[in-house]
Structure formats: C-alpha cells, structure tokens
C-alpha cells in the first residue's frame, strides 16, 4: 500500500484521534466494575468531553447509501455492559431528564439512566470501531459517516445529558466510595486514558510503505 492510495479522510489526523478516544471509551466501559464508583465517575467525567470534542471537529464525509454495515454489539452484550455499570452505581444510576422530547406531554418528571446512556454511546462506538478495523476504506468511511450521523441525532445528546448527571454526583454530597473495594486494576492514567491499542498500529503499519 502506498501513501497516495490512502483515503485522505479516514486516515486524517482528526479521525485517527477520534478512533483512539472511541476505542479508549469502549475499553474503559468493558472494565466497569473493576474500580470504585468514584473512580469510575471521575474517568467518565474526563473522557466524555474529550469524546465530544474529537467527534465535533471531524470533517464531513459522504455516505454510500447502498452499503449495509454489520452490527457487532448484540442485545446480550448491551445488557451485560449496562448491568455492570448499573450495579456499580446502584441508587445513583437514575437521574432526572430535562431534554427528553416527551417531557412536554408528561406531568411527572422523567428519569433516565446513566448506565443506559453510557451503553448507548458504547454500542454506536463499538460498532464503528469494529467496522473500522476491517481496513476496507469504503467500509471505514461509511462507518465514520454513520457514527457521526448517530452522534448528531442520538448519542451526542445522550452524552451531554449523562455528563450533567455525572457532574452532579461528583460535586454533590454523595457517598460514592462504599460500593466496591478499590483494586489495582483501576489505577490507570489520571486522564482516563491508557496507551494506544496495538490494533491501531497494525492498521496503519503499511502507511509508509
């Protein structure tokens, strides 16, 4: 593969950075339950704004409407992940929703779930990442377009909503340290990120050939 043959969009600096943060988010959610509630929320507080920033600066891409992408996150996977987060947060999982379109038709406050919002974000990002790993540039571009479109219409709002709930828990008068004994597995980088995954290096190893 030569440098001239690479798709300039899917291999651009901003896209690569978004892929890296998206992968970090998914890896982090998959380890939910290996840290205390406060450590978990501290990392969520840091990675969500970074994720929002990285996708908001991506270039517009075209969609290949005739291309259907494989879904990788099953209902079982989704439910298992959500349950792990919900068990970790316990009574702190629910929060009052203020940006639900159904609020105008409801006399009672609507509630949302931190674990459900985080799992929704995970589902779109994981499907995107798995498609991106194919190294098929048409699939990669379509997956990028779909992820960006879902961000605009669905999980972007989920992200900012759940960040509000996380902020309230972190800075509110809540006891967040009594749900799980702290383990060394939770001692990652302070900014909620770890080293770049090996598959990213493999994905681009032929770029300079």
Is the residue at 207 inside a domain?
no
Residue 198 lies in a domain: no
Asked, for residue 191, whether it belongs to a domain, the answer is: no
For residue 177, being part of any structural domain is answered with yes
pLDDT digits 0-9 by tens, 68-111: 899 999 999 999 999 999 999 999 999 987 655 554 554 555 78
Q: In the numeric block, which tokens belong to residue 62?
A: 């075209």
Report d(CA 13, CA 20) in Å as an integer. 11
Q: Which residues of 16-40 are buried (b: 16+ CB within 10 A; e: fewer)?
A: bbbbebbbbbbebbeebbbbbbbbb
Q: List pLDDT tens digits, range 163-205.
A: 999 999 999 887 776 544 433 343 444 444 444 445 455 544 5
CATH code for the domain of 37:
1.20.120.1550
pLDDT digits (tens, 9 = 90+) for 8-61: 889 999 999 999 999 999 999 999 988 899 999 999 999 999 999 999 999 999
pLDDT reported for residue 198: 52
Decide if 179 is inside a domain: yes
Collapsing DSSP to helix, strand or coil, 75 comes out as helix
Per the structure block, which two tokens stand in for 189? 């980088």
Number of domains observed in the structure of the chain:
1
pTM confidence score? 0.79
Tell me if 202 is assigned to some domain. no
Q: Is residue 87 part of a domain?
A: yes
Which residues contact residue 47 at a Cβ distance below 8 angstroms, ignoring those fewer than 6 apart?
21, 24, 25, 28, 192, 193
In a domain, 168, yes or no: yes
Residues forming a β-bridge with 94:
113
């Amino acid at each position: 593969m030569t440098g001239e043959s690479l798709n300039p969009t899917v291999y651009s600096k901003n896209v690569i950075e978004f892929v890296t943060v998206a992968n970090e988010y998914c890896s982090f959610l998959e380890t939910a339950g290996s840290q205390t509630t406060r450590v978990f929320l501290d990392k969520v507080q840091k990675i969500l704004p970074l994720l929002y920033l990285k996708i908001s600066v991506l270039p517009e891409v075209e969609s290949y409407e005739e291309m259907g992408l494989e879904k990788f996150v099953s209902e079982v996977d989704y439910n298992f992940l959500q349950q792990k987060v919900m068990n970790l947060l316990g009574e702190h999982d629910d929060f009052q929703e203020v940006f639900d379109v159904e609020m105008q038709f409801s006399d009672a406050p609507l509630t949302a779930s931190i674990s459900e919002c985080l799992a929704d974000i995970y589902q779109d990002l994981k499907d995107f990442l798995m498609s991106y790993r194919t190294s098929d540039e048409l699939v990669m571009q379509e997956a990028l377009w779909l992820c960006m479109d879902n961000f605009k219409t669905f999980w972007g709002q989920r992200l900012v909503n759940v960040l509000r709930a996380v902020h309230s828990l972190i800075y509110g008068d809540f006891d967040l340290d009594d749900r799980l004994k702290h383990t060394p597995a939770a001692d990652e980088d302070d900014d909620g990120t770890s080293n770049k995954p090996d598959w990213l290096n493999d994905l681009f190893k032929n770029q300079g050939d």
